[in-house]
Amino acid sequence: MKLVDRFAERKPEIVREWIRKTMEAYPAESLAVLNRNKDRFANPLSYTISENIDLLFQEFLKGIDPETTTPILDKIVRVRAVQDMAPSQGLSFIFDLKGVLRKLFEKETEVTDLAREFLIIEKSIDQLALFAFDIYVSCKEKLYQIRANENKNQTHMLIRRVNEMDKQNEAR
């Protein structure tokens, strides 16, 4: 039996744990409210995450197709982007799936000490990727701010020149 088939067999358990891990990013006091009500209208954040994590895992099992996966991923990322969290924290739910799968299947698989060490190193690499993402986004934000300031300054200078030209024309 292929590993993906084993994942499919345990889909409800995997999705439930992945949702739980995803929700851990929120403060404890918010988490209690988020977990209490899964109604689409009373708790849209929890509903959006739960519904789309399930759909995302279905896509994962079928094989990632950008056309169908991207809109699902977009819904989760959008709802997390408006939260007060760093980009790495907002996107860490993707990397959390690996930990969920490892935890559920580690009892069933023979893992050598070397493989266990490799998994620890892999998790560190994932963390580096998320930290790098934060830095990258910060740099992009600074560049956009610099460009916006340059455009604002250029506009201000043009307005000043136009005003000076108007004054010169009025003086004639």
In the prediction, which pLDDT does 55 show?
96
Tell if the pTM clears 0.85, that is, is over it: no
**Token pair of 17 as six digits:** 């744990």
In the prediction, which pLDDT does 31 show?
67
* Mean pLDDT (whole number) for 32-43: 70
Identify the weakest region by mean pLDDT among 73-82, 115-124, 133-142: 115-124
CA proximity to 48, closest of 62, 35, 38, 60 = 38
Calpha distance 70→75 (Å, rounded) = 9
Domain boundary assignment for the chain: 3-109
In 24-112, where does DSSP find H-type helix? 28-36, 44-62, 66-81, 87-105
Identify the weakest region by mean pLDDT among 20-29, 33-42, 93-102, 112-121: 33-42
- CB count within 10 Å of CB 12 equals 10
Identify the weakest region by mean pLDDT among 29-38, 40-49, 64-73: 29-38
User: What does DSSP assign to residue 171?
Assistant: H
